């Protein structure tokens, strides 16, 4: 069986957030590892960084001119900033730009399933939704999974058969998390090439 990748996300508020209309800040090289990072502002975004450099988390950026795509989180220094690894290009973000819990690849891939863990079970009637946002247009979008979250603390879901995803199609998970539970989500994906 071919190996698969695990893409990890974590947060303490909803799984998506609009960015502030502010300039991206160049942080330069971080930690002597020759990777560059930038500061992106999104008021009270709730995303969390992984506990270590080896156990990192990601965020998907959408709507910008220079930073769109899956980004590894370097750190979260305060509730309004998120540092992500990226080469700096001057840009002022807009409030229509978003941080998301999503995955995309420039190659065809398979979505195998996902895990979700909350620090405490959800206590509101909200749906967690995973949808495929097709690069071909909204006529090709598909809702892949829906779960009513009231009383749920853990989900482990694997598709009966790997779900084939085309290159540049996005898997997007949305959940409002009105109770501000701390969540960790892992997507399991595997290349088709």
Note the pLDDT tens digit of each residue in 97-117. Answer: 999 999 999 999 999 999 999
pLDDT in tens, 115-165: 999 999 999 999 999 999 999 999 999 999 999 999 999 999 999 999 999
* CATH of 9-100 given 1.10.530, 3.40.1000, 2.40.30, 2.60.40: 2.40.30
* Structure token pair of residue 179: 């109770």
Domain edges within the chain: 9-100, 101-191
Cβ neighbours for 187, distance < 8 A, ≥ 6 positions apart: 6, 7, 9, 103, 111, 114, 171, 173
Assigned CATH class of 101-191: mainly beta
Residue 33's pLDDT band, with cuts at 50, 70 and 90, is low
Residues 6+ apart with CB under 8 A from 182: 10, 11, 12, 48, 118, 119
pTM across the whole model: 0.93
């Amino acid at each position: 069986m071919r190996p698969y990748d695990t893409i990890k996300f974590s947060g303490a508020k909803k799984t998506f957030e609009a960015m502030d209309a502010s300039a991206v800040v160049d942080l330069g090289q971080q930690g002597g590892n020759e990777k560059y990072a930038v500061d992106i502002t999104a008021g009270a975004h709730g995303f969390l960084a992984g506990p270590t450099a080896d156990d990192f988390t990601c965020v998907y950026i959408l709507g910008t001119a220079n930073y769109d795509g899956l980004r590894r989180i370097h750190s979260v220094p305060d509730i309004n900033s998120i540092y992500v690894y990226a080469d700096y290009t001057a840009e002022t973000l807009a409030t229509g730009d978003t941080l998301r819990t999503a995955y995309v690849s420039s190659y065809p891939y398979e979505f195998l399933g996902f895990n979700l863990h909350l620090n405490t079970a959800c206590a509101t009637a909200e749906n967690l939704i995973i949808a495929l946002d097709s690069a071909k247009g909204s006529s090709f979008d598909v809702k892949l999974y829906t779960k009513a979250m009231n009383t749920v603390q853990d989900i482990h879901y694997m598709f009966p058969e790997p779900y084939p995803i085309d290159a540049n199609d996005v898997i997007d998970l949305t959940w409002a998390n009105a109770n501000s539970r701390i969540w960790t989500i892992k997507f399991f994906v595997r290349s088709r090439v």
